[in-house]
Each structure stands twice: as C-alpha cells, then as structure tokens.
Amino acid sequence: MPMVPVVLILAASLASAAEPATSFKFAFTPGKAAPGYIQVPPSAVYTKEAGSGFDLGTTGAAAPFYFSVAVPEGNYNVTATLGDAAAECVTTVRAESRRLMLEKVRTGPGKFEARTFTVNVRNSRLAPPPANAPGGSQVRLNDREQGVLHWDDKLTLEFHSARPCLSALEIEKVDDIPTVYLAGDSTVTDQARGPTTSWGQMLPRFFKPGVAVANHAESGETLKSFITALRLDKVLSQMKKGDYLFIQFGHNDMKQNWPQTYVEPSTTYKAYLKVFIAEARRRGATPVLVTSMHRRSFGPDGKIANTLGEFPEAVRQTAKEEQVALIDLHAMSAALYEALGPEKSTLAFGANGRDGTHHSAYGAYELAKCVVEGIKANKLDLAKYLVDDVPPFDPAHPDPPEAWSVPETAAQAPPPMPMPEPADPKLPSLFLIGDSTVRNGRGDGRNGQWGWGEPIAGLFDKTKINVVSRALGGRSSRTYLTEGQWDRVLAMLKPGDFVMMQFGHNDGGAVNDTSRARGALKGIGEETEEIDNLLTRKHEIVHTYGWYLRKFIADARAKGATPMVCSLIPRKTWKDGKIVRSSETYQKWAREVAASEKVGFIDLNETIAARYDALGPEGVEPLFGDPHTHTSRAGAELNAECVIAGLKGLAANPLAQFFSEKAKGVAAYSAAR
C-alpha cells in the first residue's frame, strides 16, 4: 500500500476572502511536517468548505487517488516529491481532466525525487461586456462539460501507476510564463472520460516547467461554434504577449449536414482561420496552424485515404499566405498509421479501431509526439521548453503499441451531477424527467442557459406539492433508462405522485459509437437492435423511442403515480417565417404513445412554436442562450408557462389543484386545435 497520508488544512484559511491563497505546501508522510508544511490525515476529504482534500471518492490510504485544492484561475507550478522510505514506487501524475504531466517516475526504497510541472486552471466565467455591447459572462458549455474537472475552481491531481507514492506537494501560482492555448475539436480536447484520449491532453508531458498548456478544445466544435460559444472570447481574455495559439479544426467544419457551422474550405474556412490568427497576433501571441489528422481509412493498397477533402490543403495555404507556423499532422498521421498497418493501427484508435476518428491513449501519445516534432521543425521559441528525455520522433517509425504501459486514469467520468429530491416527502411530488431543455446543467443558469424545469416550480404551490426536476443534460429516453437515472426516480415514487416526461432532442443520435451512443430506434414500434456498446462496453438491446416512453409510463403506473407525456420543445429554426416543427418525428411519436397509453399529452412542440411564430425572429432571439436549442431564463419561463397552458388544455387536468396564483393567470392551450 502506498505511503500517502496527506494533510488537508488549507493555507487559504490564512488569506482573506478577497484574496484567495495561491501558494500551498502539504506534507504526505507520517510524522512532524517540515516548517511551512501542513500535515493532514489520509482520510481528509475534499469539500468546498475545506478547500482541499482527497477527491472523487478516493483516500490517501489506497492507490490510485485524487487530490484537489481550491485555487483561483491561472497557471500553477506544482512540485511533487515522490518516493517512500520503505519501498520502490512508480508514479504517474495527471492533472485536471486526464492531462498527462509525469510518466512512470521510478524511485527506489528510501529514495525521493522532486518533479515540477505547470498546470493551467480555469473556469467558464468571463468579465461581463459593457452595457449594450455584445458578448456574455459565461462560456456556453455543452452537456458533456457539466461537472468536468477542467471547468471548475480547483486544481485536481491524480496519482496512479504500479505503486504511486507522494511525500510532499507544493503549489505556487505563476504569472508571466508562456501559455500554449489549444483551440480545436474532439481530437484535441481534454477527454473527460476514458478510454478515448486526445493529443492535447498528452502534450503537457513533453514540456518542462515554465510553460502551461491551456486546452480549450471541445468535442463537436468548429471554427464558427468556437466563436459563438464564447470559447475564443475566453482564450483571448487571458492571452498575453509571448503566448501561443494552436488551431486545429476541420473534422466538423466539413459536415454539410451541419448547415449552421459548415464552411467551404477554400473561402470561408480560410477566412475564419485568419480571424483566429489576427486575434492572436493583436495580443502579441504566436499563432500556429495544425492540420487535422487523418481518420483511420485504409485503401486497398494499404495506404491511408483522405476523408477530409480540401480542408488540410486549405490550412497549408493559409499558413503560407499568413506566414505562420504549420504543423502538418495530416501528413504525419498518414505516415504513423501506415507504419502501423491496417491491423496494428486499430490499437491507436478508440474501441480497438471501430472508432476511426478518436484515439486511444497510445494513439494520442504518438500524435502528441508528432506535434512536438512540428514545434521543433518550425524552430518556435517554445522548443526550448521541451523535455530532454524524449528522443527525436519519426512517425514512420512509431513506438510499438504493445510496449504502451502508462495506466489509464482511475476515474472514467467526472463527479456525479447533484440531483434534487423532494423537499417534503410527505407531500405529493411532480417528477420531471428529460434532457437539458428541461434541466440545464445544475439548474442554476451558470452558463446562461436554463431548462423549463426550474421556473415551472414557481407555478405550483410548494405547500401542496414538490416539483422535482430530475432531467439531465445529454440524455435520451434510452440513456435515461440505461444509466440508472429512471431507477433512482422510481425509488422515490409513491402513490399520488406525478411523472412528466419530455425526450427527443438526443434520441436521434448514433445508436452505437464511442462518443455518446445514446440514439433510440426511430418510431414507436417493438423493433430492437442488439449491439455491443462501444462506449459502455456492454451488450445492449436498443428499443424504439416509443418503447422507452411506454416503459416509463408503465413503471410510473405500477408505483401508483400519474404519468404525462410532453413533446420536445422546438429549436430556433425558421422556415418561411415559421418555426420548424417535429410533426413527422418526435412530436408525432410522443402524441401517438400518449394516445395509445391514454395519458395526458402536452404538445410543447406546437404550443411553444406558436408563441415563437407570434413573436417573430427578433422577439425570439433573447429567449435563447445558445444558437438554436437551449433557452435563456426568459425562454425557460415562457416554456414553463406553455406547460401550464397545455395542462389546462387537457380534458382532465390532474395538477390543477396544485397551481399557484401565478399559474392561474395562464391561458389554456389545447393540443387538438
């Protein structure tokens, strides 16, 4: 068992609330701590109040373990003294969301070694824009980013490997050091959940202390959406002279079935790249363009086929036109994959090659080495910060994948999202289940987005009924069941309760992939599809959207509760002056299930769309917190009123007796009209 008793009495207690502590020293071995160090027991647990401690359900008594410290946003030098007086140790250290910092540091019995590395810590907040100026005060995080370790107010370190041993820890905020900002998509981002890994979270391992890697890339992003989600604003708000901006987009920009973010490679794509370049230069930073790596797409000749069209060449042209450094990951990845060959290259990709886009930890590590070679080849001043223990790398001669032995991160998911429970169990409860359009994030609007499940509570008399929003972002009717969310609701249900369900926005996704694997089969029939889930690695029988709704209805009735079905809220998509309805898909299917099961049906899709039509595009714009799906607080309040209007339009409204005075002023809306 590793010798890692840790003391967690935060030095921040010595600082005022206005000036949070940015320097910390912890002792991790038994006995009297050295002067200036705080000694704490291994059982100490991280809480917001304590300010530091073992995190994510781990303790200092067993490995692997996490240790978190509440710190302000910024760059931090972390010095970890590794070793044990009695035994040999092997320690790998990751930071935040699985960023590799130290790789398999070996210390013999009685030997200790101090290693320093630099970690970037950030939150999603932005300085509010001046009055009447465009912008926002929060990065518009998506469902996947809620609760992840790289968008919070603490520094989290993971200690892992054969026998990790931590003796002491020093953390010191550092300013005026170069920061390497990464802007990109899922092939670059800090993947919060393993085993999928990206080169951006492997890159820190190759730098000495004194330079920070700030990975702002995110899955699904394009050049356009990186701007509209205020991600570029966040980067630019912190960027200073001497920093770097690495830019890699293309995998999603090329998707013509994403009309809001598609760009034409030789014109608009290049123009957006030049915007990023110009903004970096305006702040004295150095822009670096990176071509997207190939997908795993071998032709019959054993060579990699280009699936990215003209986008990589457009990056090359832009680099030449703007005279900026180019790292041609497209070319280097072809050499890498072809050297491994069609069979062995599967080990560089997710799900043993069944995911041809995203990478395993091994594949991400090799691609990070390619990026390092690109830094050297471009003779960037950044090269002086590269570590000395990695020899030159030729992608045509990759490391043997069978030799890869860095352990996977201990926790495969971010901390569980806190979910509300009935405030007064003696009262009847209305449980809301659904996706982020019902409850966005933690339901506190921290990203400027709200679901209707929060404001609707004010339309009910809380002395008569609990309103419990158990909806969860990113879930489909299928994953709400398979992840156990529905089981947790069922455990709380009692006779006289109510369940209102609204799904559909995420049910149209992929049935089986390594990213989300959340799609339900289309329709309301009894069709099934048997899969080996690439994400969960479990065997699964996938059903139709209607089957899952019927499952929720039957289970609720068996508990003595009253189920009700809502159709999904509409997106902000206009056609011929009207909001586009889902009248042939999820709106229709929800209505059909409600009719066949003889339960109340609230046609939110139509009710809300009718309100939007009346307001027009200009009036609807302030009702959204993102380009087309998630509502602002005002939009959520309008949608909540539409739920009440739909309830009043039912032939028999089971919730009428629980309405607040405010709800009584809402006019009825009949789904039949």
- Estimate to the nearest angstrom the gap between the alpha carbon of 61 and the chain centroid: 30
* Domain locations in the chain as residue ranges: 1-172, 176-416, 429-664
Specify the pLDDT at position 10: 39
Fold of 176-416: Rossmann fold (3.40.50)
Six-digit token string for 431:
């449980």
Mean pLDDT of the chain: 91
Quick: pLDDT tens for 164-175: 999 999 999 999
Helix (H) or strand (E) holding 65: strand 65-70
CA-CA distance, 246 to 290, in Å (whole number)? 7
Give the pLDDT band of residue 18 (cuts 50, 70, 90). Answer: low
Condensed to tens digits (0 to 9), the pLDDT of residues 270-327 reads 999 999 999 999 999 999 999 999 999 999 999 999 999 999 999 999 999 999 999 9
* SS3 label, residue 663: helix
Give alpha helix (H) positions in 397-539.
Answer: 477-482, 485-492
Question: Residue 623 and residue 579: Cα distance in Å, rounded?
Answer: 14
Is residue 82 within 8 Å of residue 167, measured between CB atoms? yes
Q: Which amino acid is at 22?
A: T
Tokens of 307: 């699936």
User: How many Cβ atoms are within 10 Å of 96's Cβ, its own excluded?
Assistant: 26
Residue type, 105: V
Neighbours of 620 (CB within 10 A): 18
Locate 362 and state its tokens: 């091994």
3-state DSSP call for residue 48? coil
Structure tokens at 671: 């789904």
Q: Are 111 and 105 in contact (CB under 8 A)?
A: no
Q: Tell me what the mean pLDDT of segment 665-671 comes to.
A: 78
Among 80-84, 141-145, 235-239, the least confident range: 141-145
pLDDT attached to residue 7: 38
pLDDT greater than 50 at residue 8: no
Return the minimum-mean-pLDDT range out of 127-141, 413-427, 481-495, 537-551: 413-427
Q: What is the CA angle 458-464-465, rounded to 5? A: 65
- DSSP code for 184: E
Which of 615, 33, 112, 97 lies closest to 642, judged by CA?
615
Mean pLDDT of 647-659: 94
In SS3 terms, 467-507 reads as EEECCCCCCCHHHHHHCCHHHHHHHHCCCCCEEEEECCCCC
**pLDDT of 671 higher than 70:** no
Split at pLDDT 50, 70, 90, the class of 405 is confident
Task: Say how far apart CA 438 and CA 180 lie, in whole Å.
Answer: 37
Q: What is the pLDDT of residues 338-366, one digit of tens each?
A: 999 999 999 999 888 889 999 999 999 99
> CA–CA separation, 206 vs 651, rounded Å?
66
pLDDT in the model for residue 622: 93
d(CA 557, CA 549): 12
Give mean pLDDT, residues 403-428. 76
Look up tokens 């002056």; give the residue: 577
Q: What percent of the chain has pLDDT over 90?
A: 78
- Tokens describing residue 513: 């992939």
β-strand partners of 466: 429
546 versus 147: the higher-pLDDT residue is 546
* Paired residues of 95 in beta bridges: 99, 157
Q: Are 472 and 485 in contact (CB under 8 A)?
A: yes
Angle at 117 between CA 111 and CA 118, to 5 degrees: 160
Q: Assess whether pLDDT exceeds 80 at residue 1.
A: no
Q: Over pLDDT 70: what percentage of the chain? A: 95
Query: What order of strands is seen across the sheet that includes strand 325-327?
Result: 212-215, 179-184, 244-248, 286-290, 325-327
Query: What is the Cα gyration radius of the chain?
Result: 26
Q: Report, as an integer, the average pLDDT of 527-542.
A: 90
| Helices 485-492 + 545-558 axis angle, to 10 | 20
Q: What is the pLDDT of residues 103-161, one digit of tens each?
A: 999 999 999 999 999 999 999 999 999 988 988 898 988 878 888 899 999 999 999 98
* CATH class given for the domain over 429-664: alpha beta
What's the pLDDT score for residue 6? 40
176-416 and 429-664, same CATH topology: yes
Task: Please state at what angle helix 311-322 crosses helix 270-282, rounded to 10 degrees.
Answer: 40
Mean pLDDT of 369-390: 96
- Amino acid at the residue 102: L
pLDDT, residue 43, reads 80
For every residue of 613-643, DSSP letters joined together read HHHHHHHHGGGBSSSSSSB-HHHHHHHHHHH
Going by pLDDT thresholds of 50, 70 and 90, the confidence category of residue 410 is low
d(CA 83, CA 106): 8
Measure the CA–CA gap between 73 and 179, rounded to whole angstroms: 13
Which CATH number does the domain 1-172 belong to among 3.40.50.2000, 3.90.400.10, 3.40.395.10, 2.60.120.430?
A: 2.60.120.430
Q: Are 648 and 666 in contact (CB under 8 A)?
A: yes
Closest among 410, 358, 368, 409 to 516, alpha carbons compared? 358
Of 476, 397, 445, residue with least CA distance to 635 = 445
Please, which residues have CB within 8 angstroms of residue 503's CB and are 6 or more apart in sequence?
433, 434, 435, 475, 476, 477, 480, 545, 548, 549, 568, 586
Average pLDDT over residues 449-462: 95
Most confident of 16-25, 145-154, 520-529: 520-529
